[in-house]
């Protein structure tokens, strides 16, 4: 908004500037949805989830992921993403675990105020807790990480599976608002751990809606609704008489700063709070704090 006033004053002082290109509307980076455009970014995204299971007591799970993306051409940016998990469940031994490694690329186009992005990714089954004789604590850690990330990053935690995940994002960016919708399909194909994991293949769907608004150029507020659902029926879902593990619905709200560092460098730190709206997260009293540090260049 301040930038627009500056442009207006400059145009009044120098009418010839009226033909210059207008300043692009600022884009509000989502919390767990993807950026709706190719990007040059290094992003450290961490979540601390506090939960409580009646039989075991209170516990916590910490998940931190690192993403690096670089535009090889303006419309295309390959990326790599990986992470770590530290789990301390109530009444059981804690563990440290590595996630899978995800590789992919984002292709994006702009049409006026609309931004369209298509993603194709592949997650390699390199995470801890996999194989025919998995470490029980490490496996429990990556399973706990699923809910700590609102079941939106399942490709990183399917440690026995090769995961192919195409996705689409559409965002409207104008008048200091960002409204973005996302859809991702995950096809999980077992490549190890047949003794420990009965499902040879399964299909997962995630979707989300993000709404953000710039209060001032340096500060924005954003809210997010996320939904995950198994389209096939894994054995774990089939055995769950409550049906709670079939899908997951969460909501998040937070603030993000936008700090120019000079040149094309911008730091966008954000802090958000997320909570489950249904079981299993609501039944286990999940409270999730997310710290997202995105450095664009």
Reduce the DSSP state of residue 157 to 3 states and report it: helix
In this prediction, residue 54 carries a pLDDT of 62
Evaluate whether 197 touches 132 at the Cβ level (below 8 Å).
Answer: no
Query: Strand 177-190 vs strand 201-216: parallel, antiparallel, or unpaired?
Result: antiparallel
Cis bond upstream, residue 280 (ω within 30): yes
Q: What is the pLDDT confidence band of residue 55, given thresholds at 50, 70 and 90? A: low
> Looking at residues 76-90, what average pLDDT do you find?
95
DSSP string, 103-147: EEEEEEEEETTEEEEEEEEEEES--TT-SSS--HHHHHHHHHHHH
Torsions phi, psi of 231, nearest 5?
-80, -30
pLDDT of residue 12: 42
Q: Where are the domains positioned within the chain?
A: 2-296
Can you give the length of the chain in residues? 297
Given a contact cutoff of 8 angstroms between Cβ atoms, the answer to whether 62 and 51 are in contact is no
Question: pLDDT tens digits for 229-261?
Answer: 999 999 999 999 999 999 999 999 999 999 999
Q: Please state, in angstroms and rounded to a whole number, the distance separating the CA atoms of residues 36 and 17.
A: 30
**Residue environment code for 138-168, b if the CB has 16+ CB neighbours within 10 A, otherwise e:** bbbbbbbbbbbbbbbbbbbbbbbbbbbbebb
CATH topology of domain 2-296: Porin (2.40.160)
pLDDT of 279-289, one tens digit each? 999 999 999 99
24 secondary structure, DSSP code: P
Give the contacts of 136 (CB within 8 A, at least 6 positions apart): none
Q: What distances in angstroms separate CA 271 from CA 69, 133, 143, 187, one per listed residue? A: 21, 38, 24, 31
Q: What is the pLDDT of residue 56?
A: 65
The band of 20, judged by pLDDT with boundaries at 50, 70 and 90, is: very low
In angstroms, the CA 121 to CA 154 distance is 12
Give the pLDDT confidence score for residue 53 in this predicted structure: 77
Planar angle of CA 270, 76, 149, nearest 5 degrees: 35
Report the C-alpha gap between 143 and 284 in whole angstroms.
Answer: 14
Q: How confident is the model at residue 57 (pLDDT cuts 50, 70, 90)?
A: confident
Using CA of residue 217, residue 116, residue 184, residue 225, what is the dihedral sign?
A: positive
More confident residue, 52 or 116: 116
Q: Tell me the whole-structure pTM to 2 decimals.
A: 0.89
């Amino acid at each position: 908004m301040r930038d627009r006033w500056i442009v207006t004053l400059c145009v009044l002082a120098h009418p010839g500037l009226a033909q210059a290109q207008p300043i692009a509307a600022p884009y509000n980076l989502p919390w767990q949805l993807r950026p709706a455009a190719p990007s040059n970014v290094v992003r450290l995204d961490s979540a601390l989830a506090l939960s409580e299971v009646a039989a075991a007591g209170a516990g916590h799970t910490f998940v931190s992921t690192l993403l690096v993306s670089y535009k090889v051409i303006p419309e295309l940016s390959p990326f790599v993403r990986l992470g770590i998990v530290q789990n301390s469940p109530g009444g059981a031994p804690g563990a440290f675990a590595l996630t899978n490694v995800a590789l992919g690329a984002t292709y994006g186009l702009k049409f006026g105020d609309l931004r369209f992005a298509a993603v194709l990714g592949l997650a390699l089954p390199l995470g801890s807790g996999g194989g025919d004789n998995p470490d029980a604590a490490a496996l429990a850690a990556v399973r706990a990480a699923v809910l700590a990330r609102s079941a939106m990053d399942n490709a990183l935690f399917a440690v026995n599976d090769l995961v192919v995940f195409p996705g689409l994002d559409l965002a409207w960016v104008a008048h200091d608002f960002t409204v973005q919708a996302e859809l991702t399909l995950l096809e999980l194909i077992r490549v190890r751990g047949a003794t420990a994991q009965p499902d040879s293949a399964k299909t997962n769907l995630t979707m989300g809606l993000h709404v953000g608004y710039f209060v001032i150029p340096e500060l924005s507020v954003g809210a997010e609704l996320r939904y995950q659902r198994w389209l096939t029926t894994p054995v774990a879902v089939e055995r769950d008489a409550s049906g709670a593990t079939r899908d997951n619905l969460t909501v998040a709200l937070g603030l993000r700063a936008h700090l120019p560092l000079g040149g094309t460098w911008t730091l966008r730190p954000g802090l958000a709070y997320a909570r489950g709206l249904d079981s299993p997260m609501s039944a286990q009293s999940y409270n999730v704090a997310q710290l997202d540090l995105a450095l664009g260049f």
